[in-house]
Structure 1
Amino acid sequence: MSRPRDDRADGTGNPVRSGSAARHTDDPAVGPARHLGSTRGMPGWLKIGTGIISILLVGVLAFGAYWAVRLQGNISKAALGAGSDKTEAAVNDSNDRMQILILGSDSRDGKNSQYGTSDDATGYGHSDVMMLMDISADNKRVSVVSFPRDLLVDTPKCTDQKTKKQFPAQQDVMINAAMTEAGIGCAVDTVNKLTGLEIDHFMMADFNAVKELSKTVGGVEVCISDAVYDPDSRLRLPKGTSKVQGEQALAFLRARHAFADGGDLGRIKAQQGFLSSLTRKMKSDGTLSNPVKMLEIADVVTKNLTIDEGLASIPTLLTVGNRLKNIDVGKVAFVAVPTVPAVSDPNRLQVAEPAASQLFAAMRKDIDLTDPTAPPSPSASASPAASASAAPTPSETAPAYDKSLQPVTVANGSGTPARAQEIMKVLTGSGFTQISQFAAAPVAATAVYYGEGFAEVAADVASELGIPAKQVLPAGVVGVQVYVGSDPAGGTKGGTPGAEAPVELPDDIVNQTAGDVVCQQANPTLITR
């Protein structure tokens, strides 16, 4: 265990930035905030996570030996990770729960050179689109979680699997730069660190994939509230519904400023709306049952796709695709990671706590995001990784730190002022004397958050208060923070340590499902008449 540092100042605010999330929690959430600042620096050439659709496309192929060889030859491969320890066995592609990280590359090589020079995409490039697709074990639902490109995260130590060059861990790095130095595997390891999940596969597409796919399916319908023109992406659309394909489809997906307030969250919702419309079109047009059309689409997609070695075979893609072809569009949920403007830079984003940790916990528990009250998939089970990375256990002997020097804050979200005093009395009596308190937003479940180096302290604090270990979470706090909820379990020695707090999600955590027809809000500053 990490030895806590004794020279930290008291932290008196809500958790501001999460590190690698713990595997279990039931803390309540607040709704995700809008990104109020405008992004800076190199234009973000956005492109869709075509990998999501590519799985659907190959799901019902009936191709001969020629097409099998041709499609297999199209595929490019890369390593899944960048040196992180893997705790889970390989998934069964047919019936295990599966997470696939979908990336969009900003490479300017070859067919993509018209969108900039190679200087615009250093190293392995940036992943300006990042979505985590989570397929349930029973093949009845899919969650697609988007990570804003401007989200500041901590990256782990990564090793380039081609050159074996090592790169140190970094703090407060934009998530779209995670793959720049050590490749796609470092982006995978970064998302694992942030969410507490262990991603099974990845798929990365480039600019050309979006253009060719949209043309092959005959265009995709999109909707916007007002006529708009974005000079950066050259997207020009009239008010209402339009069909986009080719360059116009790419412009819609890479537009930096056309939607909402011109930030990442509006852009993400537009991307999700495009994916939803494409999914509906393919199902309603009978594309998935048309072998000729499917072969044409599969050929286009695989030419512009890089996937991990475990997924890089046509039979494997066929197996995974068959899992998705019959999913109800109403059970394909599109979500954005809850964020707020970053404290260190208001033009960037950081995860919003406790909402982000609660979302990641729900994902680790295989919760249906469209219906959190529904039971997990029947065949789903706790993963080895979940057990391996469970919250730290309290010290059985004298702690290797001085309790009187540890900063502990009590954030009272119970709505009862006396509750905070009760908590502080228990902690003071056990030797924790550097304690402060403040009133916090109401929450349902009590949780203990801890900053880097304070895992052991947090475990002991939770033990003193009778808070379940699964409600002890890493976060961007200084020291330890006890976020007191209104739940009867936890918070005092008289609580029930083993009790399960209910899983709660913000009402608006799901932006839309694939069955929803959504009209995007135009950025008022770019509306044309």
Structure 2
Amino acid sequence: MSGSRPAGTVIKHGRQPRHSAWSTLLRGVAVVLAVVLASGASVAVWAVWDITSNVNSNAIDISRPDSTELPPVPNIDAFEGGFNLLVVGADNDPAQGNAFGEREVTLNDVNMLLHVSEDHSTAVVVSFPRDLLIPHPTCTDPETGETHEARRLLQLNAAFERGGLACVVATVSDLTGLDIEYAAQMSFGSVVQMTDAVGGVPVCLSGPIKDPLSGLDLPAGTSVISGATALAFLRNRHGVGDGSDLARIANQQQYISSLIRKIKSDDTLTDVTKLYSLARVASEHVYLSTSLTNPTQMVAMARTFQTIDLDKLNLIQYPVMYDPDNPNRVIPLQDLADELFERIAADQPFLPDPTAEREGVEQNPDAPAPTTAPTTPPSTPPSTPSTAPGTTPGSTPGTTPGATPAPTPTTDVIEGLQGQTALDETCSVAN
């Protein structure tokens, strides 16, 4: 594309007001956490009833006028098929308060799409940059009834202002081509309580970070963070990498990979006190779509994670490039994005490119090497090749005419795709 930056060029976003920079993945992770953690133990009937009351009082309808009926609530023992869940972190929603400043509008600054495959063998979490310029559909404001006409190009984080959670769902659904059945809206109120409920999360820093804008002050090495410190870590932008929003996404992916590893551990999954505490906090601080108001639904969805290995759970950044017309915005790398969502829609396994440069994180030197791409085995056992690898018979002197070429191994890596698996351990790079 004309005006695009060469490969490896850092994408920076324009500086925004301090209170908009939190972009905390934990707001998004909280629902995923509640779902996953609930899978480790049975929830008492009285607790389920209590949680249901809280959730139903805050439920949001995300259905579109032309949508089909909501999926039925499954039995607690099973969830049939895959699902898509959009988690939205809204800045300046009514629950935020004044501690982080004020805004005239509410923006969806965090947008994470969780996809679980049909056979529950793989999952992917795609993070969408808030400054991504994309088309927006027609949306209706649920509070005022005002209809906002479709827009050819607008920042992703403007969707909430145009029509609340349902508009964000419609916008991401149109962008990805995926039907999104479930959604959750979160704000600052859940961050401290949710991290306290899981007992903190280990994070790694390559050097000390002291960022007065987010309030983060951590030494080099590994620290277990919770509460307000976790919020500061996930809001932090200027203290990590090159200070860009994309560096912050990579930083947040480091956090959630560590979080997933912890909640998949036996100690966490069998701690009934933590499970109920987390579910209760989520029910009080999370606005769920009407398709998610039954705790049985969440528990059944949670059980799908029990069969997903850490190296089969990808944390991906939506593919973007620098906008040649505005250095503070990004636009889709369309071919790469199309390949990504074709794989997701077809439940085809894939891995991010381990050679793709990610600003803001590096491999943890004390951890195992990054996940390598598995090769697809040939349909028949390979024999000693009669031709040089990558050649055809007759193309190289000395080969046997008519010989069958050696099978060429294929890989699940999507070249240029940035991200990591939940198994990969990284460290945040201080700015």
TM-score higher than 0.5 here? yes
Question: Residues 285 and 65 (structure 1 numbering): CA distance in 2 closer, same or farther, change over 3 Å?
Answer: closer
Q: Report the Cα distance in structure 1 between the residues aligned to 2:204 and 2:301, rounded to whole angstroms.
A: 31
Quote how far apart the aligned CAs of 1:87 are: 6.5
- The question of 1:78 aligning with 2:55 is answered no
Quote how far apart the aligned CAs of 1:65 are: 3.1
- The question of 1:60 aligning with 2:40 is answered yes
Where in structure 1 do 4 or more consecutive aligned residues deviate above 4 Å?
13-16, 30-33, 371-375, 502-505
Of residues 260, 272, 278, the one that matches 2:241 is 260
Residue of structure 1 equivalent to 2:162: 181
Quote how far apart the aligned CAs of 1:276 are: 1.1
SS in 2 for 1:204: strand
Residue of structure 1 equivalent to 2:23: 46
Quote how far apart the aligned CAs of 1:112 are: 3.8
Quote how far apart the aligned CAs of 1:172 are: 2.5
- The question of 1:99 aligning with 2:7 is answered no
1:318-365: CA deviation from partner (whole Å, max 9, x where unpaired): 111111134211111000011111123111111113212222222222
Kindly report which structure 2 residues correspond to 1:307-346, keeping only aligned pairs within 5 A, or say none. 307-346=288-327
Question: Residues 166 and 303 (structure 1 numbering): CA distance in 2 closer, same or farther, change over 3 Å?
Answer: same
Kindly report which structure 2 residues correspond to 1:123-522, keeping only aligned pairs within 5 A, or say none. 125-284=106-265, 286-370=267-351, 506-522=414-430
1:191-230: CA deviation from partner (whole Å, max 9, x where unpaired): 1111111111112222121211111222111112111122
Question: Residues 73 and 92 (structure 1 numbering): CA distance in 2 closer, same or farther, change over 3 Å?
Answer: closer
Q: What is the root-mean-square deviation in Å for CA atoms of aligned residues?
A: 2.6
1:375-394: CA deviation from partner (whole Å, max 9, x where unpaired): 9xxxxxxxxxxxxxxxxxxx
Q: Report the Cα distance in structure 2 between the residues aligned to 1:149 and 1:138, rounded to whole angstroms.
A: 31
SS in 1 for 2:39: helix
SS in 1 for 2:425: coil
1:218-257: CA deviation from partner (whole Å, max 9, x where unpaired): 2111112111122211111111211111111001111122
Q: Report the Cα distance in structure 2 between the residues aligned to 1:33 and 1:134, rounded to whole angstroms.
A: 29
- The question of 1:114 aligning with 2:99 is answered yes
1:465-524: CA deviation from partner (whole Å, max 9, x where unpaired): xxxxxxxxxxxxxxxxxxxxxxxxxxxxxxxxxxxxx9975335251111111111222x
Deviates more, 1:38-47 or 1:100-109: 38-47
Q: Report the Cα distance in structure 1 between the residues aligned to 2:8 and 2:154, rounded to whole angstroms.
A: 21
Quote how far apart the aligned CAs of 1:308 are: 0.8
Quote how far apart the aligned CAs of 1:14 are: 6.0
The residue type equivalent to 2:219 in the other structure is P
Query: Would the aligned equivalents of 1:40 and 1:347 in 2 still touch at CA under 8 Å?
Result: no
In structure 1, runs of 5+ residues without a counterpart are: 1-12, 17-29, 376-501, 524-529
SS in 1 for 2:328: coil
The residue type equivalent to 1:53 in the other structure is L
Question: Residues 250 and 71 (structure 1 numbering): CA distance in 2 closer, same or farther, change over 3 Å?
Answer: same
Q: Report the Cα distance in structure 2 between the residues aligned to 1:249 and 1:38, rounded to whole angstroms.
A: 24
Q: Report the Cα distance in structure 2 between the residues aligned to 1:111 and 1:193, rounded to whole angstroms.
A: 29
Question: Residues 285 and 319 (structure 1 numbering): CA distance in 2 closer, same or farther, change over 3 Å?
Answer: closer
1:45-65: CA deviation from partner (whole Å, max 9, x where unpaired): 222212221211222342333
Q: Report the Cα distance in structure 1 between the residues aligned to 2:186 and 2:8, rounded to whole angstroms.
A: 28
Query: Would the aligned equivalents of 2:138 and 2:149 in 1 still touch at CA under 8 Å?
Result: yes
Of residues 33, 36, 40, the one that matches 2:12 is 36
SS in 1 for 2:426: coil
Deviates more, 1:292-301 or 1:183-192: 292-301
Quote how far apart the aligned CAs of 1:182 are: 0.9
Query: Would the aligned equivalents of 2:199 and 2:226 in 1 still touch at CA under 8 Å?
Result: yes
Quote how far apart the aligned CAs of 1:284 are: 2.3
Query: Would the aligned equivalents of 2:376 and 2:411 in 1 still touch at CA under 8 Å?
Result: no
SS in 1 for 2:189: helix
Q: Which has the larger radius of gyration?
A: 1
Q: Report the Cα distance in structure 2 between the residues aligned to 1:88 and 1:299, rounded to whole angstroms.
A: 28
Q: Report the Cα distance in structure 1 between the residues aligned to 2:195 and 2:133, rounded to whole angstroms.
A: 32
The residue type equivalent to 1:104 in the other structure is G
Residue of structure 2 equivalent to 1:425: none
1:416-457: CA deviation from partner (whole Å, max 9, x where unpaired): xxxxxxxxxxxxxxxxxxxxxxxxxxxxxxxxxxxxxxxxxx
Deviates more, 1:88-97 or 1:276-285: 88-97
The residue type equivalent to 1:208 in the other structure is G
1:147-187: CA deviation from partner (whole Å, max 9, x where unpaired): 01111111100123454321111232111121112110100
SS in 1 for 2:302: helix
Question: Residues 15 and 69 (structure 1 numbering): CA distance in 2 closer, same or farther, change over 3 Å?
Answer: farther
Q: Report the Cα distance in structure 2 between the residues aligned to 1:104 and 1:346, rounded to whole angstroms.
A: 24
Query: Would the aligned equivalents of 1:91 and 1:98 in 2 still touch at CA under 8 Å?
Result: no
Question: Residues 108 and 190 (structure 1 numbering): CA distance in 2 closer, same or farther, change over 3 Å?
Answer: closer
Q: Report the Cα distance in structure 2 between the residues aligned to 1:267 and 1:198, rounded to whole angstroms.
A: 28
Scaled by the length of structure 1, the TM-score of the pair is 0.64
Question: Residues 105 and 151 (structure 1 numbering): CA distance in 2 closer, same or farther, change over 3 Å?
Answer: same
Query: Would the aligned equivalents of 1:74 and 1:303 in 2 still touch at CA under 8 Å?
Result: yes
Larger relative contact order, structure 1 or 2 (CA cutoff 8 Å, min sep 6): 1
Quote how far apart the aligned CAs of 1:72 are: 0.8
The residue type equivalent to 2:302 in the other structure is G
Deviates more, 1:127-136 or 1:360-369: 360-369
Quote how far apart the aligned CAs of 1:273 are: 1.1
Q: Report the Cα distance in structure 1 between the residues aligned to 2:340 and 2:122, rounded to whole angstroms.
A: 16
SS in 2 for 1:53: helix
Scaled by the length of structure 2, the TM-score of the pair is 0.78
Query: Would the aligned equivalents of 2:90 and 2:185 in 1 still touch at CA under 8 Å?
Result: yes
